[in-house]
Amino acid sequence: MHKTIHDPVHGSVALDGPFCEMLDRHEMQRLRGVKQLGFGNMVFPGANHTRFEHSMGVYHLAGRMADAIGLSEEDALTVRAAGLLHDICHAPFSHAMEELVEERTGLDHMEFAERLIKGKIPTHPAADDDMFSSVPPISEVLEDAGISADRVCDLIACPDSRNEGIEAFDEAERTSHFRSRDYMHQIIHGPVDADQMDYLMRDSLYTGVVHGSIDLERILSTMRVFNDRIVIEKRGAVAAEGLMVSRSLMFTSVYYHRTVRIIRMMLAKAVEASTLDISDAYLWTDADLTERLVREGGVPSLLTRSVRNRILYKKAVSLSSGETSEELAETLSCYAEYHKRKGLEKDIADKAGIDASEVIVDLPPKSSLLSAVSIGKTDVSILDDGKVRPLTRSSSLAKALQSRDAYGWTLLIASPGNRTEAVAKAAHRILNI
């Protein structure tokens, strides 16, 4: 079986064999109902694209990367499968539910994906038993096509490259030493990976924010494997810099947009105030979650309907990075963890004399608050005359981007418009701002 799908980002995307079958399965079709940017369309009206087309894009780019570095047919099939299936268990509204699902289940969407692919958890809602109860797990489709389900799941659920980057740098030799044979993982989770490149290009297109433009062809043409890791030849260094710039600016302009953050946290508040069991949220669409919350009545319904009608919480307190002292940043970092942040919301609400559902506290990760250098996906390995060096060693731009504060703010507190004054006063007293 073979089909060609016309994609607005990559043009013609070819699917064949087991990929046609997997794309048409109910687990993948659910992703048509999960928006890629969650509530991004409330700020960027064109951002109505979904995890479904993003997954196709990652599949396509994973295949192109496999060809660029000369993977065997078996390995190429494996990374293509991982690219297609990597988001198969993303919760409704994408990242809006991510923290809450992990908090309540102890699993992230990649760990759910491994279990779903192997048939260890339900693959459909009970209401659809009449259609899918006899459908075998995706692992059987993979194995029948000669693709190891274990290897695919390892690439999805064990992103070795995500935070490891380069293990050591030898000042005498001016070279880097790598940890492991990890080039296949890097196609899915790495400094230059298929997931990242697709979402930057796709999100840029649909939001209309031009910062996501990258020189994809140059990156692919200069991509190599060296010491079992993916590197970019020196002639592609400028394109690698461009990728880092695009990622940094898209995070500031789109992913960390303050209004989008407020809407995301309003939805999380609605779920927190509900009686919903979200352990099977990986089976829901955006519409499923919205319907359940409205049916709950009370606070969950009010918050959900408010979001739907864009009646949003307003900013009560907002601190930029430039006006936050080291002492205050240290204090705020103590609240970065989920339960501590929820406790702070309750303390502010109590002092303001309102319900905890009316206070939202948003903070960057602890590492950002404490100005820790982020490596992970921010550094790229450059191959120059047989030696590999981090791009940050030769590029002042890359080095600056590595430690750039993509948030631009250190504290955001929001509440209903008629509560902002009381909330601001309470927050200032509690945090000694």
CA distances from 197 to 118, 179, 190, 194, 212 (A): 28, 24, 11, 5, 9
pLDDT tens by residue, 53-67: 999 999 999 999 999
pLDDT tens by residue, 176-233: 444 455 899 999 999 999 999 999 999 999 999 988 789 999 999 999 999 999 999 9
pLDDT, mean over the chain: 91
Judge whether 290 and 304 are in contact, CB under 8 Å: yes
Indicate the fold that domain 2-159+168-256+371-402 takes in CATH. Answer: Hypothetical protein af1432 (1.10.3210)
Q: Give the span between the Cα atoms of 46 and 32, in whole angstroms.
A: 16
pLDDT at residue 168, rounded to an integer? 41
**Res 325: pLDDT:** 87
pLDDT at 378: 55
- What confidence score (pLDDT) does residue 400 get? 84
- 3-state SS, one letter per residue, for the chain: CEEEEEECCCEEEEEECHHHHHHCCHHHHHHHHCECCCCHHHCCCCCCCEHHHHHHHHHHHHHHHHHHCCCCHHHHHHHHHHHHHCCCCCCCCHHHCHHHHHHHHCCCHHHHHHHHHCCCCCCCCHHHHHHHCCCCCHHHHHHHCCCCHHHHHHHHHCCCHHHHCCCEEECCCCEEECCCCCHHHHHHCCCCCHHHHHHHHHHHHHHCCHHHCCCHHHHHHCEEEECCEEEEEHHHHHHHHHHHHHHHHHHHHHHCCHHHHHHHHHHHHHHHCCCCCHHHHHHCCHHHHHHHHHHHCHHHHHHHHHHHCCCCCEEEEEEEHHHCCHHHHHHHHCCCCHHHHHHHHHHHHHHHCCCHHHCEEECCCHHHHCCCCCCHHHCCEEEECCEEEEHHHHCHHHHHHHCCCCCCEEEEEEECHHHHHHHHHHHHHHHCC
pLDDT value, residue 172: 41
pLDDT at 373: 44
What pLDDT sits at residue 204? 96
At residue 399, the pLDDT reads 84
Residue 370 has pLDDT above 80, yes or no: no
Digit-coded pLDDT (tens) for 135-163: 999 999 999 999 999 999 999 987 654 44
| pLDDT value at residue 180 | 53
Cβ-in-10-Å burial (0-12, 13-18, 19+) of 312 comes to middle
Mean pLDDT in residue range 328-334? 91
% of the chain residues with pLDDT over 70 = 92
Flag whether pLDDT at 345 surpasses 70. yes
Residue 129 pLDDT > 70: yes
The angle formed by the CA atoms of residues 276, 279 and 282, to the nearest 5 degrees, is 105
| Residue with the larger pLDDT of the pair 128 and 392 | 128
Higher pLDDT, 351 or 176: 351
CA nearest neighbour of 398 among 214, 192, 240: 240
Q: Where are the domains of the chain?
A: 2-159+168-256+371-402, 313-364+407-433
* Nearest Cα to Cα of residue 232 among 398, 241, 200: 241
**pLDDT for the residue 154:** 95
| Residue 119 reports pLDDT greater than 90 | yes
Residue 414's DSSP bridge partners are 315, 360
Instruction: Please say if the pLDDT value at position 170 is more than 60.
Output: no
**What is the model's pLDDT at position 158?**
77
Q: How high is the pLDDT of residue 371? A: 63
| CA distances from residue 20 to 13, 77, 152 in whole angstroms, order as listed | 11, 13, 17
Higher pLDDT: 45 or 404? It is 45
Residues 81-94 have a mean pLDDT of: 96
